[in-house]
Chain A
């Protein structure tokens, strides 16, 4: 398990990370969410040892990270960079060889991961000849080719079309399922919501929320329910302990004072007509995000 504890980082007078602590658990996808300038990239660069910390430490399995351990990590930097004049396959093979694979192994791996990411047709093209989305795929291949046990990906989904997002998401899930610790940042909250097992929310250099997605949802659950019934839902307004948020014929969204009120409303609704659906409204990640960063 990759653990950050009490990470502090300042640029001059400005403190950009303040007591940042969280875990990245093997076998789980951890989403790292925050606004622009919240400290995501700085945190990731610190994990990779590209930046020095002013306090706190990063450990893997309890042991502080050494350069040798970090070399086993897979990293995709925020600002994309590969040699523009190198061919796609050649480039990924080169990176795999830098990680210590023989030329044959490196070629096998690079070909496999590039094909998996949908670049099988472009192996002999120069990097600079690829579209931005395809360069992005090559960049992901660069992070994955040496089979890292820890993956740190800064915005791996930015600039990808929905199909490519699915492919990359699939690859990341496979890696997680094989026991890799995966940390990735993203602005696309819907993707994070769909994909992540764990969430870390950062704002202004401080961690505002962390934990499993379901835990966070439960923590931020409101008593808001949605009712769709055949009868007009106007009666809800007179119900005790109920505050109607939206209302349209048989459709209503309301806040119930407690679980018992909600159950009572459901029973009443069934007495008045057919109920097509009755469900608690689960907070979306966007809602949790807005709730924790203010």
Chain B
């Protein structure tokens, strides 16, 4: 039973040169991607994310197009005092008793009767609450003149963009970053890392993991954007898309490098511990770095100085810079400078991350101290 199998196994010749680093990186990345795509939890969370995006688009479409007129009843004399408006649909009634009957059976939301005691000459009769649109219609308002009408209408949009970019960046970083930590720990915990490291250098393994998860993260974001854009076009909300094109492209570019930055940190954090239970303490600083930009954009998003600073800090730049670009707050060279800073810090963090990773990957047991991992 000796010879034949051996010669059979020999048939493909042993490659002279072992695979290049690049091939190794891609192999590792491929495994990460394949494993993730196959995992049930990833499929489900992606589906939920897409459904949420779609629901958001549809809901906002419904909100925009769905202002149904308020049904009201009015006596003939009161009707004369009502300014014409598309927001109300008027049913004429003879007197208060008829109006009350219509109110009680739900045909109308409110009734307008003439009331000589009122300064505006009419009385609104409603079941429990008067419709705002109707009250507004009948109220006397002072004339308002705005000197800078644009900035006021910007505020909600600014806030909304901050939330959207912030949430997308934070969610993607956490949902693709923390699995990197977990999979690094899994490899340490199951000791498969000893076999991997006897086949490929630690740096190749690190690069492959980061690349694989980055591809997944970007893929999911692109899918999300595609679904949202199609949803917006189908529901006719094309005006939202206008002016959003360039910021989205910048967001994608910043996102890519911002993610690589965080991913290297997530991997390095994982390599410091040997058991999933110990992940918390090493993971939390990285988690904070991921979440802080989001909260900052929410809280100080209307402060131009804070936003300008944040658009240069690598961790918050992916969120802050696209927003500034959208409102034309940033000069053309600003995103380029910020991107250069981002790239430089990306390199530094990846080099440091690789060092920590290499030095702690084979240390089992207690958590490796950061200083020890950096010294090697």
Q: Which secondary structure characterizes the binding site on chain B?
A: helix
Min CB distance, A137 to chain B, in Å? 15
- Complexed CA–CA distance, A147 and B12 (Å): 10
- A47 CB to closest chain B CB (Å) equals 10
The reply to whether B2 and A113 form a contact with Cβ atoms under 8 Å apart is no
Report the minimal beta-carbon distance from B202 to chain A, rounded to whole angstroms: 10
**Chain B min CB distance to A118 (Å):** 12
Of the stretches A21-29, A170-178, A208-216, A240-248, the one at the interface is: A170-178
Closest chain A residue to B196, Cβ basis: A98
Q: How would residues 14 to 43 of chain B score, 1 for a CB under 8 Å from any chain A CB and 0 otherwise? A: 110111000110011001000100010000
Give B292 Cβ to nearest chain A Cβ, in Å. Answer: 33
Contact B27 A178 (CB under 8 A): no
Closest to A115 in B: B5
Number of chain B residues close to chain A: CB under 8 A: 37
Q: Are B35 and A84 in contact (CB under 8 A)?
A: no
Write out the residue numbers on chain B whose beta carbons fall within 8 Å of the beta carbon of A112: 5, 8-9
Q: Let me know if B12 and A105 touch, CB within 8 A.
A: yes
- CB of B192 within 8 A of CB of A71, answer no
Indicate if the CB atoms of B18 and A99 lie closer than 8 Å. yes
Residues A84 and B194 in contact, CB atoms below 8 Å apart:
no
Contact A98 B19 (CB under 8 A): yes
- A71-B18, A97-B27 known; A173+B2 contact, CB < 8 A: yes
Task: Give A97 to B34 CA distance when docked, in angstroms.
Answer: 15
Q: Which residues of A contact B31 (CB under 8 A)?
A: 86, 94
Task: Determine how close the nearest CB of chain A comes to the CB of B187; give it in whole angstroms.
Answer: 8
Taking the closest CB of chain B, its distance from the CB of A27, in whole angstroms, is: 14
Q: Is A50 interfacial (CB 8 A cutoff)?
A: yes
Q: Does B201 contact A (CB under 8 A)?
A: yes
Tier of interface size on chain A: 35 or more
Residue A13 at the B interface, CB < 8 A?
Answer: no
Across the A-B interface, how many residue pairs have beta carbons closer than 8 Å? 104
B191 CB–A CB distance under 8 Å: yes
Residue of A48, A68, A178 near B18 (CB, 8 A) is A68
Cα–Cα distance between A45 and B201 once the two chains are bound (Å): 16
Instruction: Assess the B19–A79 pair: CB atoms within 8 A.
Output: no
* Bound form: Cα–Cα A78–B126 in Å: 80
Chain A min CB distance to B301 (Å): 41
Contact with A along B345-358 (1 / 0, CB 8 A): 00000000000000
A101 at the interface (CB under 8 A from B): yes
**Do B35 and A48 touch across chains, with their CB atoms under 8 A apart?**
no
Q: Is A224 an interface residue (CB 8 A)?
A: no
Residue from A113, A143, A178 having most chain B Cβ neighbours under 10 A: A178
- Contact for A113 among B9, B192, B195, B199, CB less than 8 A: B9
Q: Name B150-202 residues within 8 Å CB distance of A.
A: 186-187, 190-201
Q: Are B197 and A100 in contact (CB under 8 A)?
A: no
If A108-B12, A113-B9 touch, whether A95 touches B193 (CB-CB below 8 Å) is no
Residues of A within 8 A of B187 (CB): 81, 83
Question: Which B residues fall within an 8 A CB radius of A?
Answer: 1-3, 5-6, 8-12, 14-15, 17-19, 23-24, 27-28, 31, 35, 39, 186-187, 190-201, 362
A81-B192, A83-B186 known; 15 new pairs, CB 8 Å cut-off, are: A49-B198, A50-B194, A75-B194, A77-B191, A80-B191, A81-B195, A82-B195, A83-B192, A94-B27, A98-B27, A100-B23, A101-B12, A108-B11, A143-B195, A174-B6
Give chain A's interface residues, CB within 8 Å of chain B. Answer: 45, 48-51, 67-68, 70-73, 75, 77, 79-86, 94-95, 97-102, 104-105, 108-109, 112-113, 116, 142-143, 146-147, 170, 173-175, 177-178
Query: 24 A-B Cβ contacts within 8 A?
Result: A49-B198, A50-B194, A50-B198, A71-B18, A71-B199, A71-B200, A77-B194, A79-B191, A81-B187, A83-B187, A85-B35, A86-B35, A94-B27, A98-B19, A98-B28, A98-B200, A100-B17, A100-B18, A102-B15, A105-B15, A108-B11, A143-B195, A146-B14, A173-B2
